[in-house]
Amino acid sequence: MKRSTAALLLALLLLSPSRSHSACRDLDVARGWTTPAYAAGADVTLEFFGHNFFQITSSRGTRILTDPVAPGFYPTPNVAPDAITVGREHPNHNYVEIAKNKPIILRGLANYGAEWNKVSTTVKDILVYTVPIFQQQWGNALKGAAFVFDLGTICVAHLGDLSHKLTEEQIKAFGKVDIAMLPIGGTFTMPPDTAREVLQQLKPKIAIPMHYRESTHLLDMFVKGYPHRYLNNYRSTFSKAALPPPTQIVVFTPWQMRDYR
């Protein structure tokens, strides 16, 4: 499948299951839905376990893991999620055996990475859908998947191993992103300068860097000129009502690791 077919797949992604309202897309007005009033309470809790591995928890307690990494690089948490998303078929991203239960597995690629696999489904109160992207390996473009999590009141995007600026079709498919996790490491993903360009394209209120192996050099390149803060914590909650007006970069400390700043 060539790069030119990505537009068709992206168009198909715009067809999503019905729900009471959407935080990510302009569907509320078109379908006569009422946009919810945003309360001051937490709309989402994010936990960072290193590399591209996060746990997203909704206000109702629904838990989704993203790109779980195999043991050896980071401490392995004890987790029992409702679902796991996989954006790259590699041990650093697809260690679904980590779950202590039997969650739903949502793979953004088929045939072990050879083809895109469209995901558009609901996990309890969270709508999950994919945006086809390209990642890279030693200079070669490979298919990859970004995942978007529509929690009804807040929109979270995990950009996987994105290696390039976004097309207009991809920007439209992502929707109105409030919180974005972006890779900044280069080599297998985009480097910091490209990640900064993607920030300008998506304009999230919160940007969380990932896939950089705790390199302070890469972090410094990424955050330069942006409002930013470093958390001496792997966990944080966010509410739609309290999001900053400009983009703010928030750097998490991976679970069971020391603050490296």
Q: Which residues contact 218 (CB under 8 A, 6 or more apart)?
A: 184, 185, 186, 191, 192, 209, 212
Question: How many other C-beta atoms lie within 10 A of the C-beta of residue 217?
Answer: 9
Whole-number pLDDT of residue 261 = 55
- Report the number of distinct structural domains present in the chain: 1
Q: What is the mean pLDDT of each run of 10 residues along the chain (261 residues)?
A: 48 45 65 44 92 95 94 89 92 87 96 92 97 82 93 96 95 97 89 97 97 89 95 95 94 81 55
Whole-number pLDDT of residue 138 = 67
pTM of the model: 0.86
Q: Which of helix, strand or coil describes residue 103? A: coil
Q: Is residue 9 part of a domain?
A: no
Sign of CA dihedral 112, 158, 154, 31: negative
CATH number, domain with residue 91: 3.60.15.10
Whole-number pLDDT of residue 157 = 98
Whole-number pLDDT of residue 237 = 98
Range of the domain at 223: 20-32+43-251
Q: Is residue 8 part of a domain?
A: no
Q: Is residue 212 part of a domain?
A: yes
Q: Is residue 257 part of a domain?
A: no
User: Smallest Cα–Cα separation from 35: which of 147, 152, 126, 131?
Assistant: 152
